[in-house]
Amino acid sequence: MSPVTPTCQLLDRQALDYRGWLWVAPPDDPWLGDAGGTVWSTDAAIAATWRARGVTVHDDLNADPGVPPGAVLFWPKAHALGEWWLLALCRALPAGTPLQVVGENQGGIRRVLKVLAALGLGCRKRDSARRCTLFETRVGAVPLDPDAVWTQFEAAGLTLASHPGVFGHGKLDDGTRLLLDHLPAGLGQDGERLLDVGCGDGVIAAYLARRGGAVTALDVNAFAVEATRRTLSANDLDGRVLASDVYTALGEQERFAAIVSNPPFHQERRIDYGPTARLIEQAPRHLEPGGSLWLVANAFLPYADRLEAAFGGFSIITDDGRFRVYRAVRR
């Protein structure tokens, strides 16, 4: 099968046998499956796609990928996250394992030379095409622990865990702040079952749990799942946190008094309405009768029609010109 993504098209033209290699943070490109090997991904949706193709997938932040003949890291948009992956690979793989790093030029791949030099790892440019660049090096011992990138900060009266792989790293997003400021005072106070979809660093889940809600938090990103667990623990709060592509981890009969979300709309550099579309369209089946969806989004995003179609109506609770808070009720 021919590759469909520019990075895989660049790999495809290499005179190299990639069979058995480890693909790290890969895109959804079927060419990788044809090349064989295993996948290490922190994205639950991508991990599920590769498992469905019969590929062995590692989805844990502290995975043990064994001893592959080599590894390819697909450089992410977030530079600090790319650094974490390099540190994680140096911890997980035997010294001397061939490592290639590939990415789109507009995504900052050229920074890899300086990053690897700072880690004491040699590196050379192997190829460039399709507005992408491919570097190669070898895994070696480095003096830094990937766990050291975890930090904490204070916001909304809570201690929040933060990681470069989580949305809003190190700060409270303005949209989330607006949402929290406009949630009804009684939400969660009677031990209601509440659902946070796209939990990120866990600020919404912790805010609702502090009010007394029985909280379930979902995120497709393993870094966000871990951050939310750490946030709840740091504030001595309870909650269930699951890796989930929107609602996939929930049981068919699970219902909640409210769903609260600040959903993402980017996949790397692409705008992707798919997850939020599913969040809205499937929300009624996960709400109790009379239950409500609370959603904050950038004001320009086209969610009104989807809310109307799913719920038969909705309210705009507030609009500050940048963000809107929507409420829709299951009748």
Contact of 25 with 41, CB cutoff 8 Å: yes
Residue 140's domain comprises 6-145
pLDDT value of residue 272: 63
Residues contacting residue 256 through CB under 8 Å, at least 6 positions apart: 192, 193, 194, 195, 216, 286, 287, 288, 291
Looking at the structure, tell me whether residues 128 and 156 fall in a common domain.
no
Rounded to whole angstroms, the Cα distance separating 320 from 331 reads: 28
Looking at the structure, tell me whether residues 124 and 207 fall in a common domain.
no
DSSP count for the chain of H helices, then E strands: 10, 18
Looking at the structure, tell me whether residues 30 and 129 fall in a common domain.
yes
Looking at the structure, tell me whether residues 155 and 285 fall in a common domain.
yes
Q: 60 lies in a domain?
A: yes
Q: 1 lies in a domain?
A: no
Looking at the structure, tell me whether residues 186 and 212 fall in a common domain.
yes
pLDDT value of residue 34: 82
Last residue of a domain, one of 145, 178, 197: 145
pLDDT value of residue 95: 97
Looking at the structure, tell me whether residues 136 and 187 fall in a common domain.
no
pLDDT over 60 at 267, yes or no: no
pLDDT tens-place string over residues 160-206:
999 999 988 999 999 999 999 999 999 988 899 999 999 999 999 99
Residue 202: DSSP 8-state: S
Mean pLDDT of the chain: 94
Looking at the structure, tell me whether residues 173 and 133 fall in a common domain.
no
Q: 225 lies in a domain?
A: yes
Looking at the structure, tell me whether residues 101 and 174 fall in a common domain.
no
pLDDT value of residue 200: 96
Rounded to whole angstroms, the Cα distance separating 116 from 121 reads: 5
Last residue of a domain, one of 128, 145, 162: 145
pLDDT over 50 at 309, yes or no: yes
Looking at the structure, tell me whether residues 126 and 206 fall in a common domain.
no
pLDDT value of residue 271: 58
The CATH number given to whatever domain includes residue 27 is: 3.40.50.150
Percentage of the chain beyond pLDDT 90 is 86
pLDDT tens-place string over residues 51-91:
998 999 999 999 999 999 999 999 998 889 999 999 999 99
pLDDT tens-place string over residues 36-54:
899 999 999 999 999 998 9
Q: 138 lies in a domain?
A: yes
pLDDT over 70 at 143, yes or no: yes
The model's pTM: 0.93
Last residue of a domain, one of 145, 177, 201: 145
Looking at the structure, tell me whether residues 45 and 164 fall in a common domain.
no
pLDDT band at 33 (very low <50, low <70, confident <90, very high): confident
CA 163 distance to own-chain centroid: 11
Looking at the structure, tell me whether residues 122 and 157 fall in a common domain.
no
Contact of 21 with 221, CB cutoff 8 Å: no
Q: 72 lies in a domain?
A: yes
pLDDT value of residue 60: 93
pLDDT value of residue 221: 95
Q: 297 lies in a domain?
A: yes
Rounded to whole angstroms, the Cα distance separating 107 from 252 reads: 39
What is the rounded average pLDDT of the residues 115-128? 93
pLDDT over 50 at 18, yes or no: yes
What is the rounded average pLDDT of the residues 15-37? 91
Residues contacting residue 30 through CB under 8 Å, at least 6 positions apart: 1, 4, 53
Q: How many domains in the chain?
A: 2
pLDDT over 90 at 133, yes or no: yes
Q: 290 lies in a domain?
A: yes
pLDDT value of residue 189: 87
Which of 260, 6, 33 lies closest to 127 in space, CA to CA? Answer: 6
Q: 135 lies in a domain?
A: yes
Looking at the structure, tell me whether residues 101 and 73 fall in a common domain.
yes
More confident call, 222 vs 1: 222
pLDDT value of residue 266: 46
